[in-house]
Amino acid sequence: TPLSPETEAMIARRKALLGPAYRLFYQKPLHLVRGKGVWLYDVEDTAYLDAYNNVTSIGHCNSHVVEAIARQAGTLATNTRYLHGSILDYSARLLATMPPEIEHLMFTCTGSEANDLALRIARTFTGGTGIIVTETAYHGITLAVSEFSPSLGEKVDLGCHVRTVPAPDSYRSEDVAAEFEKNVRSAIADLKRHGIKPAMFICDGIFSSDGVFDGPTGFLKGAVEAVREAGGLYVADEVQSGFGRTGDAMWGFQRHGVVPDIVTMGKPMGNGYPVAGVAARHAVLEEFGRNGRYFNTFGGNAVAMAAAHAVLDVIENDGLMANARAVGAYLREGIRALQPDYPLIGDVRGAGLFIGVEIVGNPLARTPDAALTSAIVNQMRDEQVLISACAKAANVLKIRPPLIFTRENADFFISKLSLVLSRLS
Ligand code: PMP
């Protein structure tokens, strides 16, 4: 069905006003006007099951967070140049969820800024400039960070100090740990050949944009050792995998069994209010702190801290990590149960409520099928379920519902997926 004249007009107006760099989701873009819990509502008040949004990770418009933001905005909105108790209480609370080696927390407004700051810290500490990332990684939009975000597109130049390694593809590799370590070692060797000292290896806790690779547990160890031997740091980007999403731990890196030197976070930290941060070991921050002052006008402001505190309240009080673990496993099992009928489902993987479903044209050869993946995403949207796709070959369904997802929501999801697959098979 064609787009309505209203939708066409709004798209044209958007292009005229916002320019050519923005992209919309779906062949039939959505015009959303409100959200509640796991549901989003369009301009006609049609409800869509949100199985994709990990910013409002504890549910859309969570009243505890909304009230905390409103209360603080009506009391005091200042920055980190004044003493304020809430930023200290929050930092103590957040750092308590991390390994004891990670002692400090600094605040930014976006994940991109957090990764940009991590790079500055890593450069100061190591004296190096080299960066190793995975082939389809996304780390953000600043100039420095876009140079190590290959998923921005082939036409965006990676820096000459950046090396990419293939994703840890557990679906195709016999020994992910050994292969990943070998690739990281060759990247380090290539940097050295060009006279570049590594500053950092940065990876997403669950390799989100590479195609959602959660395991096997501990597979990062060898790669991180190689980076450290070469004098570089391990930066864990928890912007997508943090705050309980993976179900079995608060942080995605915890499944890898290595303590990072720097951890960056953002997205779900304020459930929609811009809050992001960089946590680091003391030794790593020492020289950076000596050399310059750090001030981020909005980073760590009093309202941001109120939002962030409220998010942790809800994750803890409502047992959302346990829910992510249980409902995530239930949802993966439900999708796996469709595999015998639909061999185009090549692999179902993930942890907690972060799920990747690999779509293949030929299941024996495991051939990625991007066209089929896109058709599934768009038909799911027509069935009022929101997901997207990721991976180098754009053939992995990325399913990332709010942590409050219930078994009933999962059943609804599976029934719609089954319907869409039956149509496309
Ligand atoms: N790192 C990862 C892994 C991300 O997914 C994103 C955002 N998609 C970022 C960093 C950048 O965060 P922001 O958009 O808040 O700048």
Q: Say which residue the tokens 């760590």 belong to.
A: 300
CA of 238 to the centre of ligand 1 (A): 9
> Under CATH, to which class is 64-317 assigned?
alpha beta
pLDDT band, very low/low/confident/very high, at 54 (cuts 50, 70, 90): confident
Task: Please say whether the beta carbons of 353 and 320 come within 8 A.
Answer: no
Ligand 1: which atom is nearest the Cα of residue 238?
3
Which of 152, 209, 239, 298 to probe ligand 1 with, by most ligand atoms within 8 A of CB?
A: 239
Nearest in space to 265 (alpha carbons), one of 356, 140, 128: 140
CA of 274 to the centre of ligand 1 (A): 12
pLDDT digits (tens, 9 = 90+) for 6-44: 999 999 999 999 999 999 999 999 999 999 999 999 999
pLDDT band, very low/low/confident/very high, at 265 (cuts 50, 70, 90): very high
How far does CA 284 lie from the centroid of its chain? 24
Q: Write the ipTM.
A: 0.99
Distance CA 75, CA 141 (A): 33
> Which residues sit with their C-beta closer than 6 Å to ligand 1?
110-112, 115, 138-141, 204, 208, 237, 239-240, 266
Nearest in space to 15 (alpha carbons), one of 24, 6, 26, 3: 24
Q: Which of 151-155, 213-217, 334-338, 407-411 has the lowest mean pLDDT?
A: 151-155
Query: How confident is the model over 395-400, as a mean pLDDT?
Result: 98
pLDDT digits (tens, 9 = 90+) for 356-383: 999 999 999 999 999 999 999 999 999 9
Query: How confident is the model over 259-286, as a mean pLDDT?
Result: 98
CA of 140 to the centre of ligand 1 (A): 5
Which residue's CA is the nearest one to ligand 1's atom 1?
139
CA of 174 to the centre of ligand 1 (A): 30
Ligand 1: which atom is nearest the Cα of residue 266?
15
Which residue's CA is the nearest one to ligand 1's atom 12?
111
Which residue's CA is the nearest one to ligand 1's atom 5?
240
Q: What is the bridge-based pairing of β-strands 198-204 and 233-237?
A: parallel
CA of 113 to the centre of ligand 1 (A): 9
CA of 50 to the centre of ligand 1 (A): 19
| Distance spanning both ends of the chain, measured CA to CA | 21
CA of 138 to the centre of ligand 1 (A): 7
Ligand 1: which atom is nearest the Cα of residue 204?
3
**Which pLDDT belongs to residue 291?**
87
pLDDT digits (tens, 9 = 90+) for 128-172: 999 999 999 999 999 999 999 999 987 778 889 999 999 999 999
For the chain, which residues make up each domain, given as ranges? 31-58+319-424, 64-317
Rg (CA), the chain: 21
User: Quick check: helix, strand or coil at residue 110?
Assistant: coil
**Which pLDDT belongs to residue 292?**
82
CA of 265 to the centre of ligand 1 (A): 8
Which of 107, 141, 143, 267 to probe ligand 1 with, by most ligand atoms within 8 A of CB?
A: 267
Ligand 1: which atom is nearest the Cα of residue 276?
15
Which residue's CA is the nearest one to ligand 1's atom 13?
111
DSSP track, 295-311? --SSTT-HHHHHHHHHH
**Which pLDDT belongs to residue 53?**
86
For the chain, percent of residues with pLDDT exceeding 90 = 96
Q: What is the bridge-based pairing of β-strands 388-390 and 354-362?
A: unpaired
**Which pLDDT belongs to residue 286?**
96
Task: Please say whether the beta carbons of 338 and 420 come within 8 A.
Answer: no
**Which pLDDT belongs to residue 262?**
98
Neighbours of 84 (CB within 10 A): 16
DSSP track, 20-79? TT---SSSS---EEEEEBTEEEETT--EEEESS--SSTT-BT-HHHHHHHHHHHTT----
Task: Please say whether the beta carbons of 147 and 159 come within 8 A.
Answer: yes
Average pLDDT, the chain: 97
Ligand 1: which atom is nearest the Cα of residue 113?
16
pLDDT digits (tens, 9 = 90+) for 90-140: 999 999 999 999 999 999 999 999 999 999 999 999 999 999 999 999 999
Partners of 102 in the β-ladder: 281
Distance CA 189, CA 99 (A): 30
Which of 202, 240, 253, 298 to probe ligand 1 with, by most ligand atoms within 8 A of CB?
A: 240
CA of 109 to the centre of ligand 1 (A): 11
* Per-residue tokens: 173: 């590799």
> Domain 31-58+319-424, what architecture?
Alpha-Beta Complex (3.90)
31-58+319-424 and 64-317: same fold? no
Distance CA 199, CA 210 (A): 22
Query: How confident is the model over 51-70, as a mean pLDDT?
Result: 97
